[in-house]
Amino acid sequence: MPGSPTDDAADRVRRAYEKTQSLDIAEVPASGEELADLARNWQADELPGLQRTIADLQLANLAQGIVDPVFAALATALKAVDLPSFSLLDAACATGYYGEVIHSLDPRDIAYSGCDYSLAMIESARAYYPDVPFSVQDLTALTHPDRSFDVVLLSGVLEHIPDYRRAIERSSRVADRYLIVHRCPTTSGPTHERTIGTQYNIRTPRTFFSLGLLKSEFSDTGFELVKSVEVYPRPGGWRRRLRRMAGRRLKGREQRGTLTLVFRRREASGRP
Ligand SMILES: C[S@@+](CC[C@H](N)C(=O)[O-])C[C@H]1O[C@@H](n2cnc3c(N)ncnc32)[C@H](O)[C@@H]1O
């Protein structure tokens, strides 16, 4: 039976993604020192081209009204930002394509800017979007002034940073009202699972965050969780029943997921 246009679009993205995974080796648990050795791997020159292959397909789908689940999750999360217009720093923006996504899915006046610690990514972002302000910045050492953006977006990045706590501290300093941790890998367990995985052609740190622990780490920097969105919503019907059965078998074991989390500065709740 032929699939729907949405299934075909998702398949095209999945197949393109699989093609770019030239270093697909098994994930292993890792110590802090082992992760630290990989901290700079995302600065490789080939990554902007590889990442953009996928983003271009997702953007082409979006132009036809087919919204990737990962974009839909961000659009839902943005609804929790209780501001009529705002500035947003995409603090690991890669080639800057989330600017297009946000402007296409949220009608508000959103002043988008981006930064990334990879010069290659930022050069590519500037070539695609010459009118957008971009800068080279490491999330663990952001130089932006205190509270200089209404919203700071951390999309697909915290899990790749060995010293993610420093990244939380620095981005909390720069965010005036909200921090959005988009497509965050999570575990139902009580502690973070720290691993080394692969993406594209690199080995990369990959942390699966315990939601309870992550919430307390954001609370330490003055932010509270106000919304959590499942990036890949649960299937209905027989798929749901199968998942429930698998869930029963997995009972007692940690389960992983992908969430988009909106944190609000605690004092912000009483502000106009
Ligand atoms: C998986 S990609 C995600 C890109 C984009 N935000 C998205 O959601 O598609 C990870 C991005 O984080 C950037 N990155 C990794 N470590 C970083 C750090 N310490 N500071 C700033 N950017 C970092 C990489 O260069 C890369 O662009």
First CA to last CA distance, the chain: 53
Question: What separation in Å is there between the alpha carbon of 55 and the centre of ligand 1?
Answer: 14
Question: What separation in Å is there between the alpha carbon of 7 and the centre of ligand 1?
Answer: 28
Does position 268 have pLDDT exceeding 60, yes or no? no
pLDDT at 267: 83
Q: How confident is the model at residue 272 (pLDDT cuts 50, 70, 90)?
A: very low
- Give the integer Cα–Cα distance in Å for 161 and 205: 7
**Cβ-based neighbour number of residue 240 at 10 Å:** 11
Strands 85-90, 109-116: pairing kind: parallel
What confidence tens digit (pLDDT) does each residue in 111-156 have?
Answer: 999 999 999 999 999 999 999 999 999 999 999 999 999 999 999 9
pLDDT at 241: 64
The helix (H) or strand (E) run that includes residue 120 is helix 119-128
Nearest ligand 1 atom to the CA of 167 is 19
Question: What separation in Å is there between the alpha carbon of 129 and the centre of ligand 1?
Answer: 18
Nearest ligand 1 atom to the CA of 182 is 8
Q: Which residues line ligand 1 (CB under 6 A)?
A: 42, 92-94, 116-118, 121, 138-140, 155-157, 160-161
What confidence tens digit (pLDDT) does each residue in 235-254 have?
Answer: 665 556 666 665 555 555 78
Question: What separation in Å is there between the alpha carbon of 190 and the centre of ligand 1?
Answer: 26
CA-closest residue to ligand 1 atom 3: 156
Range with lowest mean pLDDT among 29-33, 87-91, 120-124, 226-230: 29-33
Beta bridge partners, 195, equal: 29, 206
Burial of 77 (0-12, 13-18, 19+ CB in 10 A): buried
The more confidently predicted of residues 229 and 25 is: 229
Residue tagged 């932010």 (tokens): 223
Residue from 70, 95, 117, 161 to probe ligand 1 pocket by mutation (most atoms less than 8 Å from CB): 117
Nearest ligand 1 atom to the CA of 154 is 6
CA-closest residue to ligand 1 atom 27: 94
| pLDDT, average across residues 176-187 | 98
pLDDT at 21: 87
Architecture of domain 5-270: 3-Layer(aba) Sandwich (3.40)
The sign of the torsion formed by the CA atoms of 112, 157, 169, 118 equals negative
Question: What separation in Å is there between the alpha carbon of 157 and the centre of ligand 1?
Answer: 5
- Give the integer Cα–Cα distance in Å for 117 and 43: 7
The mean predicted confidence, pLDDT, of the chain is: 92
pLDDT at 141: 98
pLDDT at 239: 58
Question: What separation in Å is there between the alpha carbon of 237 and the centre of ligand 1?
Answer: 36
CA-closest residue to ligand 1 atom 4: 94
What confidence tens digit (pLDDT) does each residue in 2-59 have?
Answer: 567 678 888 899 998 888 888 878 899 999 999 999 999 999 999 999 999 999 999 9
Nearest ligand 1 atom to the CA of 199 is 1
Question: What separation in Å is there between the alpha carbon of 246 and the centre of ligand 1?
Answer: 33
Q: How many residues does the chain have?
A: 272
Which DSSP letter does residue 257 get? E
